[in-house]
Chains A and B, each alone.
Chain A
């Protein structure tokens, strides 16, 4: 059973526009959420995280929003840059468990 879902396998946006990547989870025990970014032939790298006690966390061009009641989080990238083209994995952790989504491939067109 997939406890963390990223329903959009791919997303294409124009350079300078906003990219919004979505993630849903089912396990209410999850209390910490992370986004990882992965380039081809490399391992995932940590991007940004958020605790369940917050509903927003910002780091430069990247903002993560958490809606606990909907069990939904999203990653906003503003403005998007061609170097942001990568696969983005959402992860949720809690109760000594961590689960990843299937990933969303973001393409930012110049």
Chain B
């Protein structure tokens, strides 16, 4: 199906474990983003990518690693999960990274709980 899909939708893990959240888009959008949503903070940018093999930090990158070997995939890895990383994670994509017309298309989200 066309669109942007995230997996898993729900994940419970323990402190110190490695977790990878997957994101796949079928539009061939150049730009992809990872956000986290927390109560009182809205959506905060973790990392973004302008193209395959090009990634850059966002507002809250500490504790996260990303890669983008293919245009359609943008996985987010928590190398050693902490309780403060309990959140809902949204992947998004856009055709252009131009701030003027940067309408994002979001996935359905991945709810991560770190015990």
Closest chain-A Cβ to B35's Cβ sits at a distance in Å of 8
| Band of interface residues on B | 20 to 34
A-B pairs under 8 A by CB, number: 58
* Closest partner residue, chain B, to A29 (CB atom): B99
Are A49 and B103 touching (Cβ within 8 A)?
yes
Contacts A32-B102, A91-B43 known; 18 new A-B pairs at CB < 8 A: A4-B42, A31-B100, A32-B100, A42-B108, A42-B109, A44-B43, A44-B104, A46-B103, A46-B105, A89-B42, A93-B100, A93-B102, A94-B99, A97-B99, A98-B99, A100-B43, A101-B42, A102-B42
Binding site for B on A (CB under 8 A): 2, 4, 6, 31-32, 34, 36, 41-46, 49, 51, 89, 91, 93-103
22 contacts between A and B (CB under 8 A): A32-B102, A34-B103, A36-B104, A41-B108, A41-B109, A42-B108, A43-B90, A43-B107, A44-B104, A46-B103, A46-B105, A49-B103, A51-B100, A89-B42, A91-B43, A93-B102, A96-B99, A98-B45, A100-B35, A100-B44, A102-B40, A102-B42
